[in-house]
Amino acid sequence: MLRAGMLGIILLACLLMCPSACFATTLKEVQIGVRVVDFLADPPPPGSFLAVIFDSHNKESQDDARNIMTWLSPGSVGGKTSLLPVMVDVHNLDEVQGVRVAFVASATETGYVAILEFARKHAVVTISSELSCVRAGICTVGIASTPRVEVLVNRHVSETSGVTFTEAFRMLVTEY
């Protein structure tokens, strides 16, 4: 009971003091993102790397990436695919190889062009909790968990990146 009260106070303080930080990627969005990987027509083999792309020049992006990494630790999220998360600075994407899935942390807008180039060059599905990334034609999949679960897929980014999903998945999501 005491823990629940303390958690409520912390969340309220977060909302009052820094509302933008409270709306970064959530655990539920990471869990849904991991399940999205299960619907790839050609999923990466177990043990493949999953990039968590962040902007090293932005504290909000760094914090969001660290939270995503924590939630992607072994056994913390579901999904059939067993991927190994690695943090990747958006400014160093040209050095990354062997990645087929990437979570894009919040506040990486300055690296959107590099993220799109990376996805196209390496056939990477990019997943973000910021639906604006999908609407801007940068990320492949956008996931929002509040006020209700919403999954958007940018068809053009998917096609130009060589990322295809199963028909069952495409019937469950909104293509943009």
CATH of the domain at 121: 3.40.50.2300
Is residue 99 domain-resident? yes
Rounded mean pLDDT, 25-31? 95
Is residue 8 domain-resident? no
Is residue 1 domain-resident? no
Is residue 144 domain-resident? yes
Task: Enter the pTM of the model.
Answer: 0.84
Q: How far apart are CA 52 and CA 166, in angstroms?
A: 24
Is residue 92 domain-resident? yes
Is residue 11 domain-resident? no
Is residue 166 domain-resident? yes
Residue span of the structural domain in which 63 resides: 22-175
* pLDDT tens for each residue of 119-174: 999 999 999 999 999 999 999 999 999 999 999 999 999 999 999 999 999 888 98
Bridge partner residues of 84 (DSSP) = 49
Bridge partner residues of 86 (DSSP) = 51
User: Residue 4's pLDDT is what?
Assistant: 41
* pLDDT tens for each residue of 37-92: 999 999 999 889 999 999 999 999 999 999 999 999 765 555 555 889 999 999 99
Number of domains in the chain: 1
Is residue 12 domain-resident? no
Contacts of 156-165 with CB under 8 Å at 24 or more apart are 157/116, 157/119, 157/126, 158/125, 160/120, 161/119, 161/120, 161/123, 161/124, 161/125, 161/126, 162/120, 162/123, 163/40, 163/119, 163/123, 163/124, 163/125, 164/40, 164/41, 164/42, 165/39, 165/40, 165/41
Q: How far apart are CA 88 and CA 105, in angstroms?
A: 10
